[in-house]
Amino acid sequence: MASLSQLASQWNIPPELLDELSKYATPTGLADYAALAVIAGVSGAYISRGYLWDQPDPYAYLAYERPQLKNGGQAGANANKETRNIAQKLEESGKNIVVFWGSQSGTAEGFAHRLAREISVRWGQESMTADLSDYDPITITEIPNTKLAIFIVSTYGEGDPSDNTVDFWSWINKAKDVSLPSLRYAAFGLGNTNYKFYNKVVDVIVEGLDKFGAQALMPVGKANDAEGATEEDFMSWKDQLFSVFKEQLGFQEIEAKYTPSLLIQEDESLEPIDLHHGEPHGQADGKANQSSAVRTLSISNSRELFTSSDRHCLHMDLDLTNQPELTYKTGDHLAIWPGNPDSEVELLLQVLGTSERRDIPLHIKAIDSATKVTIPSPTSTNALFRYYLEICAPVNRDNVRDLAQFAPTPEAKAYLTQLGQDKDNYASFINRTHLNLGRLLQLACPGQTWSDIPLSYLTETLPHIRPRYYSISSSSVVSPRKPSITAIATTTPLPDNSSELVHGVTSNYLLAISQQAQSQPHPYGVTYHLNGPSNALEGGKVFAHIRRSKFKLPITGKTPLVMVGAGTGLAPFRAFLSERCQVQKIGKDVGQMILFFGCRNPNEDFIYQQELEEMQKVLGDKLRVVTAFSRKEGTPRKYVQDRVSEFGDDVVKLIDEGGSFYVCGRAGMAREVEKAVGETMRKVKGWSEDEVNNWSKAVKRKNKWQEDVWG
CATH number at residue 698: 3.40.50.80
State yes or no: pLDDT of 195 exceeds 90.
no
Does residue 243 share a domain with residue 354?
A: no
Q: What is the pLDDT of residue 65?
A: 35
Residue 363: inside a domain: yes
C-beta atoms surrounding 373 within 10 Å: 13
Residue 531: inside a domain: no
Among 431, 461, 491, residue at a domain's last position? 461
Does residue 227 share a domain with residue 146?
A: yes
Q: What is the pLDDT of residue 53?
A: 43
Residue 579: inside a domain: yes
Residue 53: inside a domain: no
CATH number reported for the structural domain that contains residue 358 in this entry: 1.20.990.10
Q: How many domains does the chain have?
A: 4
Whether the CB-CB separation of 120 and 157 falls below 8 Å is answered with no
In terms of pLDDT, which residue wins out, 282 or 8? 282
Q: What is the pLDDT of residues 37-88, one digit of tens each?
A: 545 554 554 444 444 444 444 433 333 333 333 333 333 333 346 889 999 9
Residue 216: inside a domain: yes
- For residue 204, give the nearest of 238, 164, 240, 171 by alpha carbon: 171
What percentage of the chain exceeds 90 in pLDDT? 76
Q: Across-strand partners of 366? A: 262
In whole numbers, what is the pLDDT of the chain averaged over residues?
Answer: 88
Instruction: Name the pLDDT band for 36 (thresholds 50, 70, 90).
Output: low
Total length of the chain:
711
Tell me the mean pLDDT in the region 653-667: 96
Does residue 271 share a domain with residue 147?
A: no
Q: What is the pLDDT of residue 326?
A: 95
- Give all strands (DSSP E) within 227-269, no chain letters: 262-266
Q: Is the peptide bond before 636 cis (omega within 30 degrees of 0)?
A: no
Does residue 287 share a domain with residue 141?
A: no
Q: What is the pLDDT of residues 492-541, one digit of tens each?
A: 887 766 667 889 999 999 999 999 999 999 999 999 999 999 999 999 99
pTM over 0.95: no
Does residue 38 share a domain with residue 108?
A: no
State yes or no: pLDDT of 575 exceeds 60.
yes
Full residue range of the structural domain in which residue 14 is found: 4-48
Does residue 30 share a domain with residue 97?
A: no
* Lowest-pLDDT range of 158-162, 163-167, 183-187, 271-275: 158-162
- Encoded amino acid at 399, one letter: N
What is 459-472 written as a DSSP string?
Answer: HHHSPBP--EEEEB
Does residue 593 share a domain with residue 452?
A: no
Does residue 267 share a domain with residue 185?
A: no
Does residue 571 share a domain with residue 697?
A: yes
Residue 72: inside a domain: no
Does residue 269 share a domain with residue 240?
A: no
- For residue 97, give the nearest of 178, 39, 183 by alpha carbon: 183
Among 418, 436, 461, residue at a domain's last position? 461
How far, in Å, CA of 102 to CA of 90, rounded?
19
Q: Specify the 3-state DSSP secondary structure of 616.
A: helix
CATH number reported for the structural domain that contains residue 170 in this entry: 3.40.50.360
Q: Specify the 3-state DSSP secondary structure of 707.
A: strand
How far, in Å, CA of 447 to CA of 502, rounded?
23
Residue 336: inside a domain: no
Q: What is the pLDDT of residues 350-365, one digit of tens each?
A: 999 999 999 999 999 9
Residue 598: inside a domain: yes
Q: What is the pLDDT of residues 383-406, one digit of tens each?
A: 999 999 999 999 999 999 999 999
Does residue 104 share a domain with residue 190?
A: yes
Looking at residue 504, the DSSP 8-state letter turns out to be P
Within 13 A of 91's CA, how many CA atoms are on the CB side? 12
C-beta atoms surrounding 74 within 10 Å: 21
Does residue 219 share a domain with residue 91?
A: yes
Phi first, then psi: what are they for 420, rounded to 5°?
-75, -25
